[in-house]
Structure 1
C-alpha cells in the first residue's frame, strides 16, 4: 500500500507541487520536511457552485492583410538615414 504525498519543497527528482506515492516508511520521512499528506479536493455536487451562463461569443476582429502588415514593417527601414558602411559592425568585427 502506498502513501500519497504532495511535495512542498524539491526532493530527489520531484518539484514543489508534484504528487507521488511512496511506501509508508519513505512517506513518513518526507512528511513535514519535503512533503505533506495528499488531500484531494472534494468533488461533491453540493461543493461545486452553479456555473454562470457563458457570455455570448463575439465576432473576432478582421485580421490585418499581409500587404498592410509588410508595409508597416518596411516603412521605418526606408525612412531611416543611411549609416556609414562599417558603423553597424561590432568593434571585434571591424578590419584594421
Structure 2
C-alpha cells in the first residue's frame, strides 16, 4: 500500500505542490523535510458561487453596420503614388 504525500520543496524529480504515492518507508523519510501527508480537502477547493451570465453580444449585422462608414466621410486615398515609396525599387 502506498502513502500519498504532497511536496513542499523540490526532491528528486518532484516539484513543490506535486502529489505522489510512495511506499511507507520512503514516505516517512520525506514527511517533514520535503513533503507533508496528502489531505484531499486541501486538494479540492470549493467552487465559488456561479456569477450571473453576461449580456449577449450584439448581432453580427449590428456590429458591421457600426463599422461601415459612408464613402463621403472616408479619407481620400493619396494621389496615385505621390510621396509613397515603391516596394522593391532601387535607388
The normalised TM-score by structure 2 is 0.51
State the superposition RMSD in angstroms: 6.8
Q: Where in structure 2 are there 5+ consecutive unaligned residues?
A: none
Aligned length: 90
C-alpha change, 1:50 and 1:7, in structure 2 (3 Å) is: same
Distance, in Å, in 1 between the alignment partners of 2:87 and 2:35 is 52
Q: Secondary structure at the match of 2:28?
A: helix
CA contact (8 A) 1:86 1:94 kept: no
| Structure that is richer in helix per residue | 1
Structure 1 runs, 4 residues or longer, greater than 6 Å off: 42-47, 62-96
The Cα shift of 1:31 comes to 0.4
Answer with 1 or 2: which has the greater Rg.
Answer: 2
Q: Where in structure 1 are there 5+ consecutive unaligned residues?
A: 57-61
Distance, in Å, in 1 between the alignment partners of 2:9 and 2:71 is 51
C-alpha change, 1:22 and 1:80, in structure 2 (3 Å) is: farther
Q: Secondary structure at the match of 1:17?
A: coil
Distance, in Å, in 1 between the alignment partners of 2:83 and 2:20 is 55
